[in-house]
A and B are shown apart, each in its own frame.
Chain A
Amino acid sequence: MNTNLKISNVTKIYPGCVANDDVSLEFNSGKIYALLGENGAGKSTLVKILSGVVIPDEGKIYLNKNILKLNSPSDAKKNDIGMVFQHFNLFETLSVFENLIIDSDEQRENLKEKIDTIMKKYNFSVDLDVPVLNLSAGQKQKVEIIRCLIRSPKVLIMDEPTSVLTEQETSELFLSLKKFSEEGILIIYITHKLKEVMQLCDEVAVMRRGKLVSVSQINNENIESLANKMVGQDLKTIKKKKENTSSEQLIKITNLNFTSEDPFETNLVDINFSLNRGECLGIAGISGNGQSELFQVLSGEIISNKNSIEFNKNFIGDLNPQERREYLMAFSPEDRLEQAAIPQMAIFENVALNNFKSSNFFNNGLINESKIKEHSKKIISEFNVNTDNIDLKSQFLSGGNLQKLIIGRELITSPDLLICFNPTWGLDVGAINYIHETLIKINEQNKSIILISTDTDELLKLSDKISVIHRGKLSKIMNSEDVTSEKLGVLMGGGN
């Protein structure tokens, strides 16, 4: 039986932003649809509307010509719409089977039989009696998918499902999705990854700033054309010139260990690496494998053994971030809004967070506001931050501009080493390009970068050397020419 899902003139307004502006779309079963857009384009809101989490201000939704009333997630379930969210909704301490039976109305025996059939049919192998916390991300996702399949859905919506998966798990997922589609389940695939759209989908709808920009057949598109639609401007591609880097060692990490008291943190085990001047070391990995801890150990937020970090012939393992800055290190953390900057404070106050001695931001314990402001103006013009008001609270900067401000703040001291963690996460493509260009420029000036990132493409583009972090351990360091994204994928999953 064919399924037809129609979204008609849906509008949803949040205070201060129009998340969906008069969006109309039609889907038919037998095809895989991509819903493409940058962060904040309105994809998630639309998905939440389809799954009953959010109620639209205006507009209607039809399933097979019948109007759908979706006032709660259970309405969506009743109407055979299944959802797999980016973040899993599973009880970690319960077994897989317990998780599945919780929201099922079926008898234990029947359910078991049903699950077995599904697993056989799609070649899933998940141990039903194991607690969920012992599963890998890919397996957890399978549990979520099985949960949807039990209800034999007509529509299956996948919200950015690959952000936590390795390359191998991703291709497995794609195979299953194609199979579902062949069996008549309508699949809507939400993503901002262009490659996946090209690989998997038949039709693509692009959203930008709450509006539907285009709907087209995938055969008529390519990565560039989709990127341009998504961003709304033409992009130039940048490439790193591979030059002979110097052989002068800048930083050396020896037997660095970190054991956390917090069970939700990852322990770092025997980290060893060194980096020369002018090089970029990329550290790949699936998020949650110790990247955050590694960043903190390198920045000095977590203090370690003095001799474990040698920087420019000084041992600095026991210094805090401010003291490390005096040795010409700079840091750009992952979380722009909660760590790297304070949204409620003015731009110039955020600049003062990087308080290095020669800046004279604070003399004898007093604030030297004119000095800070002068410095801020310099950063804003040198790093293309799109504002001329340094008294503006930084919450009014877009993500891209805020990141430029942060990178600018860190680079204005011309540090020898910049350590950055997911510097382009959640940014629009224009800003990503700018940040990438800046990072390449630093390398050209014979400065070094440690780039911790979950974005494999970014790492391959910018790094000279690459290593993978998995469960707090670093793989051996490879030259980036010898590395492919498939190889990284294997290592990220813990393989060899």
Chain B
Amino acid sequence: MIKIVKRDQPSKAIFFFTPILAIFLTLIAGGIIFYILGFKPFEALKFFFIVPIADKYGFSELLLKATPLCLIAIGLSFCFKSNNWNIGAEGQLTFGAIVSGGVALLFYDQEGFYILPIVILAGAIGGMIYASIPAILKTYFNTNEILVSLMLVYVSKLILDYLVVGPWSNPEGFNFPETRQFSDSARLPLLFEGLRIHAGIFLALAAVVISWFVFYKTYLGFQMKVSGFSLKTAKYAGYKGKKMIILVFLISGACAGLAGVGEITGPIGQLHREVSPDYGFTAIIVAFLGRLHPVGIIFASLVVAITYLGAETAQIFMQIPKYTGQVFQGMILFFLLASDYLLFFKFKFIGTKK
């Protein structure tokens, strides 16, 4: 007989084991889905998860996709840890891309070492400005940040649309909805000849280190932790709640904005309609899969990045729609939430004695 017993203390090992369990269950469920669709499950999973990263180029692509995911998820973990539900990172990314793209376009015919730092800074500021909207509305007008941040995503996408079709479109571009190419000085340097992986990965790694330090070593991190557990306690302890809400949104927005900069000054090199394949939304899954822990987020971003690559390979080689990637992302989150049950309960096997 199996009995479900409450754990005395949520186990630390289980805390990091459940994400792995969730991935494993996702693979099984994915295999079943492929089987129902008429594919050989193992072959399909191979195309999805192994083929894409089997060579140097594939591995570079993995890091390329993981970089924005990791960067955004780190930023989001500041919000989530302190009970602020910013789900509009996609919008902050887009707005960061718009602002930094605009700056890069100013310099489109110039070269100079100073251009890239200005462009990067502009992206971070753009993300911060955009994230400050839900933060200020929440602190001063009591609005719900989930709704506001989400709705602003669509606003930013429409602004981008308008700009690339209208005022910012390339005068020599035959009315394609895209801007001029940025000058080389506004592009993030590539790390290896022939591969697309770029210096943006260092931004992500720096964010990991800084966030670890802030979470575990600073008063701000402590206040975030307290607020995350209980806002009533934070108030009682006398923390300046409004200030902190705005601060975590700004950090989160800056990270998303930087991810936007990384995309347009890295692989894309200009502004067009599709600067992000929903990195801002997928990063929410990454943040939770990584347990809002900086190191966990690194691993989670790599895992989720595979689903992007796998979807593309599977589409090319097996004619499976690339939206299957989103199905996998959804399943990971689903199984993660389900297996979190194990954090608080354990199965106990009891002999059938009576």
Assess A323 versus B219: contact at CB under 8 Å? Given A340-B233, A353-B233. Answer: no
Q: What is the CA–CA distance of A299 and B235 in the complex, to the nearest angstrom?
A: 10
> Which 5 interchain pairs have the tightest Cβ spacing?
A322-B238, A15-B6, A321-B238, A362-B219, A339-B232
Q: What is the CA–CA distance of A320 and B226 in the complex, to the nearest angstrom?
A: 17
In the complex the two chains form, is A342's CB within 8 Å of B233's CB? yes
In the complex the two chains form, is B217's CB within 8 Å of A341's CB? no
In the complex the two chains form, is A345's CB within 8 Å of B239's CB? no
List of A residues within 8 angstroms of B6 by Cβ:
14-16
The answer to whether the Cβ of A245 comes within 8 Å of any Cβ in the partner chain is: no
Q: What is the CA–CA distance of A339 and B220 in the complex, to the nearest angstrom?
A: 19
List of A residues within 8 angstroms of B345 by Cβ:
15
List of A residues within 8 angstroms of B229 by Cβ:
342, 344-345
The answer to whether the Cβ of B353 comes within 8 Å of any Cβ in the partner chain is: no
In the complex the two chains form, is A396's CB within 8 Å of B9's CB? yes
Number of residues of chain A lying within 8 A (CB) of chain B: 33
List of A residues within 8 angstroms of B216 by Cβ:
367
Partner of B218, one of A16, A320, A321, A365: A365
Assess A338 versus B233: contact at CB under 8 Å? Given A16-B6, A300-B238. Answer: yes
Assess A339 versus B239: contact at CB under 8 Å? Given A15-B6, A15-B345. Answer: no
By CB atoms of chain A within 10 A, which of B6, B9, B238, B239 has the most? Answer: B238
List of B residues within 8 angstroms of A462 by Cβ:
none
Question: What are some 18 contacts across the A-B interface (CB < 8 A)?
Answer: A14-B6, A16-B6, A300-B238, A321-B235, A322-B238, A322-B239, A338-B230, A338-B233, A339-B232, A339-B233, A339-B236, A342-B226, A345-B225, A353-B233, A366-B218, A367-B217, A367-B222, A396-B8
| Chain A residue with Cβ nearest B237 | A353
Footprint of B on A, CB under 8 Å?
14-16, 299-301, 320-325, 331, 333, 335, 338-342, 344-345, 349, 352-355, 362, 365-367, 393, 396
Assess A338 versus B232: contact at CB under 8 Å? Given A16-B6, A367-B219. Answer: yes
| Contacting residues of chain B (226-246) with chain A, CB-CB under 8 angstroms | 226, 229-230, 232-233, 235-240
Q: What is the CA–CA distance of A324 and B236 in the complex, to the nearest angstrom?
A: 11
List of A residues within 8 angstroms of B5 by Cβ:
15-16
Q: What is the CA–CA distance of A293 and B225 in the complex, to the nearest angstrom?
A: 26
* Binary contact track B1-33/A, C-beta < 8 Å → 1, others 0: 000111011000000000000000000000000
| Chain A residue with Cβ nearest B240 | A320
Q: What is the CA–CA distance of A324 and B240 in the complex, to the nearest angstrom?
A: 14
List of B residues within 8 angstroms of A349 by Cβ:
222, 225
List of B residues within 8 angstroms of A320 by Cβ:
238, 240
What distance in Å separates the Cβ of A393 from its nearest Cβ neighbour in chain B? 7
What distance in Å separates the Cβ of A91 from its nearest Cβ neighbour in chain B? 28
What distance in Å separates the Cβ of B52 from its nearest Cβ neighbour in chain A? 39
List of B residues within 8 angstroms of A345 by Cβ:
225-226, 229
| Chain A residue with Cβ nearest B220 | A365
In the complex the two chains form, is B217's CB within 8 Å of A340's CB? no
List of B residues within 8 angstroms of A324 by Cβ:
238
Q: What is the CA–CA distance of A231 and B165 in the complex, to the nearest angstrom?
A: 78
List of A residues within 8 angstroms of B4 by Cβ:
15
| Chain B residue with Cβ nearest A323 | B238
What distance in Å separates the Cβ of A364 from its nearest Cβ neighbour in chain B? 9
In the complex the two chains form, is B236's CB within 8 Å of A352's CB? no
Q: What is the CA–CA distance of A353 and B225 in the complex, to the nearest angstrom?
A: 11
What distance in Å separates the Cβ of B239 from its nearest Cβ neighbour in chain A? 7
Q: What is the CA–CA distance of A301 and B225 in the complex, to the nearest angstrom?
A: 19
In the complex the two chains form, is B218's CB within 8 Å of A367's CB? yes
What distance in Å separates the Cβ of A391 from its nearest Cβ neighbour in chain B? 12
List of B residues within 8 angstroms of A355 by Cβ:
237-238
What distance in Å separates the Cβ of B44 from its nearest Cβ neighbour in chain A? 41
What distance in Å separates the Cβ of A292 from its nearest Cβ neighbour in chain B? 11
In the complex the two chains form, is B235's CB within 8 Å of A301's CB? yes
Assess A353 versus B226: contact at CB under 8 Å? Given A322-B238, A367-B218. Answer: yes
Q: What is the CA–CA distance of A24 and B148 in the complex, to the nearest angstrom?
A: 58
Q: What is the CA–CA distance of A349 and B9 in the complex, to the nearest angstrom?
A: 17
Q: What is the CA–CA distance of A477 and B216 in the complex, to the nearest angstrom?
A: 48
List of B residues within 8 angstroms of A366 by Cβ:
217-219
List of B residues within 8 angstroms of A339 by Cβ:
230, 232-233, 236
Assess A352 versus B222: contact at CB under 8 Å? Given A321-B237, A322-B237, A325-B238. Answer: yes
